[in-house]
């Protein structure tokens, strides 16, 4: 498949997890399509989008999976952990319960994902200052506890969305390059997720 081989140097599978309504879909749509809708649309099961980016001179094809946060979809969601190379843990800064759930999501990762998977903590809806109940310091403290990067974002106002995705993409790229001594399209270990079955949040999802 020389045509596809020439299109990118590396394929990376990212997974977005977190409680329902925290804005995972909105973050993905902002990043992949540069679009935003305030309408609440609950993700059913799982969906994904493709984004081609260049990081440190490497052309990377990002396959970003958006998961449903509801409990009834949890079995479907966890089945996708195994092939993920990077995971975005998303909470809503205006919803403390979603922040407290991050520990449970971390536990799910530890049970179901690759031990070396890269992770990043994301506090969404940071534009809603009057309704913010989870402080930046609390987010930083939790991220430090688990040894992961941290960003506060707003899909609505396009704050820190691209840096968040590029940070996790770079972390995965660096790990794969280190582990494999270089990772091109011909390197099968990098192309996780090719056989995954392809399966769109507010309370003011922003």
What are the boundaries of each domain within the chain?
2-190
Q: Would you tell me how many other CB atoms lie within 10 Å of the CB of residue 44?
A: 12
Instruction: Check if the beta carbon of residue 91 is closer than 8 Å to that of residue 124.
Output: yes
Task: Name the strand (E) or helix (H) holding 67.
Answer: strand 58-67
Q: What is the pLDDT along the chain (206 residues), one digit of tens a residue?
A: 344 455 889 999 999 999 989 999 999 999 998 877 665 555 445 677 889 999 999 999 999 998 765 554 455 566 778 889 999 999 999 999 999 999 999 998 999 899 999 999 999 999 999 999 999 999 999 999 999 999 999 999 999 999 999 999 999 999 999 887 444 443 333 333 333 333 333 334 44
Q: 130: exposed, middle or buried (C-beta count within 10 Å: 0-12, 13-18, 19+)?
A: exposed
Classify residue 198 by its DSSP letter.
Answer: P
Superfamily of domain 2-190: P-loop containing nucleotide triphosphate hydrolases (3.40.50.300)
The set of residues, in sequence order, having a beta carbon less than 8 Å from that of 57 and lying 6+ positions away, is: none
* Strand 10-17 to 58-67 pairing: parallel
pTM of the model: 0.80
Interatomic CA distance for residues 164 and 176, integer angstroms: 19
* Strand 58-67 to 46-55 pairing: antiparallel
Q: Would you tell me how many other CB atoms lie within 10 Å of the CB of residue 137?
A: 8
């Amino acid at each position: 498949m020389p045509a596809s081989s020439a299109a990118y140097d590396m394929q990376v599978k990212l997974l977005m997890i977190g409680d329902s309504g925290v804005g995972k879909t909105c973050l993905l749509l902002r990043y992949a399509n540069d679009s935003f809708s305030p309408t609440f649309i609950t993700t059913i099961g799982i969906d994904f989008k493709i984004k081609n980016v260049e990081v440190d001179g490497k052309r990377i094809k990002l396959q970003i999976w958006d998961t449903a946060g509801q409990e009834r979809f949890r079995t479907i969601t966890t089945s996708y952990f195994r092939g993920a190379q990077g995971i975005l843990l998303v909470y809503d800064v205006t919803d403390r319960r979603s922040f407290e759930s991050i520990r449970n999501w971390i536990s799910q990762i530890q049970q179901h994902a690759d031990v070396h998977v890269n992770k990043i903590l994301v506090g969404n809806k940071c534009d809603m200052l009057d309704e913010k109940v989870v402080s930046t310091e609390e987010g930083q403290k939790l991220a430090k506890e688990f040894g992961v990067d941290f960003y506060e974002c707003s899909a609505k106002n396009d704050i820190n969305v691209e840096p968040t995705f590029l940070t996790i993409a770079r972390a995965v790229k660096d790990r794969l390059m280190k582990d494999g001594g270089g990772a091109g399209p011909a390197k099968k270990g990098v192309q996780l997720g090719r056989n995954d079955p392809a399966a769109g949040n507010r309370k003011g999802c922003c």
